[in-house]
């Protein structure tokens, strides 16, 4: 199959399958292959190194481009002020990962939607400067086109994604030094007229023994790092709603909905159960439903007096109950400052008391957990607080 892509001026009609234009042999170099190549190139020196800015990458590779690619690159660089959140958009390529690559037609339509008005404005500016347009129908590498397509498609995806938590007025943020690190720092923020403002002091927490992995929360699924699975000892990374508080006591000093745990309360971690990833009362749902579950909520009764669930709250990971997607993720008390968890976020009792007293359901609080590098890359697109910085 032959796909024909027309280059009209400076990309104004790009990605339209029309007669004439540039020919690519789909069977030899598919869109998926090209996307995979782009991802590998953009990742650069590996997961543990900071991603190179797309604009910096274009500058760095300009001399290795074809003549037409250089002219397109020059156009992009000269009109960078028109490309709102370009670097954040290209980082969103990773967020969609395989999902976007599996739907190239939709991605290309989205790209055309965003590229056209930008390039119309840019072409006017170039025309006024007396510069010519790019010649029609000259070869441009597929990977180069795909980088641009996914970058612009990603801009819309990032904006839509952040809307999922746009009503949040309280945010609990945990950052870790890396994906495979079992400890981090917790900060709390309140949204003000001027942006996010830090409340209280940063405090240490522990997370999963294996570190973190992308979870199933308010943000779209991501694949640019480990992905959370049932039993993998990773804490889910991403943005999540904060659910009910719970504890051993009959009541707690919190405005959040509170569940006083009983000896028959279990969180079901059996993946094929209809109550998977739900806290249930075995006396209500039946003993058969919780059979095989390893998460009794009254650990003081069932696990040698364990106090870790004496106070805690639900982190709403995998609310859709995706099989083996991970379950029973909480904020709870730590055993000690050096004891990691099986996937939850653990903290000192004083910090837990402060959180529960501060959280308000009407403020739609969310919980964010990210490695520092991922947080920095996503901070602008996801409208996250600037860590240790001014309000945003």
Instruction: Tell me what pLDDT residue 65 has.
Output: 75
User: Minimal CA–CA distance to 89: which of 126, 129, 53?
Assistant: 53
The DSSP secondary structure of 72-128, one letter per residue, reads HHHHHHHTGGGSTTHHHHHHHHHHHHHHHHT-HHHHHHHHHHHHHHHHHHHHHHHHH
Whole-number Å distance between alpha carbons of 203 and 331: 14
- pLDDT band of residue 88 (cuts 50, 70, 90) is very low
Sign of the C-alpha dihedral, residues 295, 296, 298, 299? negative
CB 237 within 8 A of CB 225: yes
The first and second tokens of residue 5, run together, are: 């892509």
Q: Going by C-beta distance under 8 Å and a sequence separation of 6 or more, which residues neighbour residue 2?
A: 23, 24, 25, 26
This prediction's pTM: 0.63
Average pLDDT in the 79-103 region?
A: 43
More confident residue, 216 or 389: 216
Tell me the pairing of strands 366-371 and 2-5.
unpaired
| For the chain, percent of residues with pLDDT exceeding 70 | 61
pLDDT digits (tens, 9 = 90+) for 287-338: 999 999 999 999 999 999 999 999 999 999 999 999 999 999 999 999 999 9
What is the helix, strand, coil percentage profile of the chain, to 5?
A: 35, 20, 45
pLDDT at residue 28 greater than cutoff 70 = no
Which H or E run contains 188? Answer: strand 183-192
Whole-number Å distance between alpha carbons of 170 and 208: 24
pLDDT at residue 343 greater than cutoff 80 = yes
More confident residue, 97 or 331: 331
Whole-number Å distance between alpha carbons of 121 and 118: 5
Average pLDDT, the chain: 76
Q: Going by C-beta distance under 8 Å and a sequence separation of 6 or more, which residues neighbour residue 67?
A: 138
Give CA separation, 373 vs 93, 201, 228, in Å: 16, 21, 18
pLDDT digits (tens, 9 = 90+) for 165-198: 999 999 999 999 999 999 999 999 999 999 999 9
CB 167 within 8 A of CB 183: no
What 3 state SS string does 237-259 have? EEEEEEEEEEECCCCCCCCCCEE
pLDDT at residue 257 greater than cutoff 70 = yes
CB 180 within 8 A of CB 211: yes
């Amino acid at each position: 199959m032959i796909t024909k892509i027309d280059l009209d001026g400076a990309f104004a009609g790009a990605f339209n399958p029309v007669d004439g234009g540039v020919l690519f042999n789909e069977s030899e170099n598919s869109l998926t292959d090209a996307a995979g190549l782009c991802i590998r190139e953009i990742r650069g020196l590996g997961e543990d190194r900071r991603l190179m800015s797309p604009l910096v990458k274009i500058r760095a590779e300009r001399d290795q481009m074809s003549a037409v690619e250089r002219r397109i690159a020059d156009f992009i660089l000269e009109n960078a002020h028109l490309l709102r959140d370009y670097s954040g958009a290209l980082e969103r390529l990773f967020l969609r990962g395989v999902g976007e690559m599996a739907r190239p037609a939709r991605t290309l339509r989205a790209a055309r939607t965003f590229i056209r008005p930008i390039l119309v404005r840019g072409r006017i500016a170039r025309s006024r400067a007396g510069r010519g347009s790019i010649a029609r129908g000259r070869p441009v590498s597929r990977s180069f086109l795909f980088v641009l397509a996914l970058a612009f498609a990603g801009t819309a995806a990032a904006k839509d994604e952040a809307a999922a938590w746009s009503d949040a007025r309280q945010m609990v943020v945990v950052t870790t030094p890396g994906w495979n690190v079992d400890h981090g720092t917790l900060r709390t923020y309140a949204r003000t007229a001027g942006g996010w403002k830090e409340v209280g002091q940063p405090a240490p927490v522990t997370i999963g023994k294996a570190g973190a992995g992308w979870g199933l929360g308010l943000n779209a699924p991501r694949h640019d790092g480990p992905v959370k699975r049932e039993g993998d000892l990773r804490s889910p990374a991403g943005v999540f709603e904060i659910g009910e508080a719970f504890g051993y006591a009959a009541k707690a000093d919190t405005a959040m909905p509170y569940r006083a745990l009983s000896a028959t309360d279990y969180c079901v971690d059996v993946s094929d159960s209809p109550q998977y990833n739900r806290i249930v009362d075995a006396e209500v749902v039946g003993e058969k439903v919780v059979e095989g579950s390893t998460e009794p909520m009254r650990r003081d009764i069932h696990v040698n007096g364990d106090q870790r669930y004496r106070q805690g709250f639900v982190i709403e990971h995998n609310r859709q109950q995706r099989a083996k997607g991970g379950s029973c993720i909480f904020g709870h008390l730590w055993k000690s400052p050096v004891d990691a968890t099986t996937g939850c976020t653990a903290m000192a009792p004083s910090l837990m008391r402060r959180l529960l007293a501060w959280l308000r359901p009407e403020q739609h609080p969310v919980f964010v957990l990210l490695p520092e590098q991922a947080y920095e890359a996503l901070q602008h697109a996801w409208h996250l607080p600037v860590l240790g910085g001014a309000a945003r």
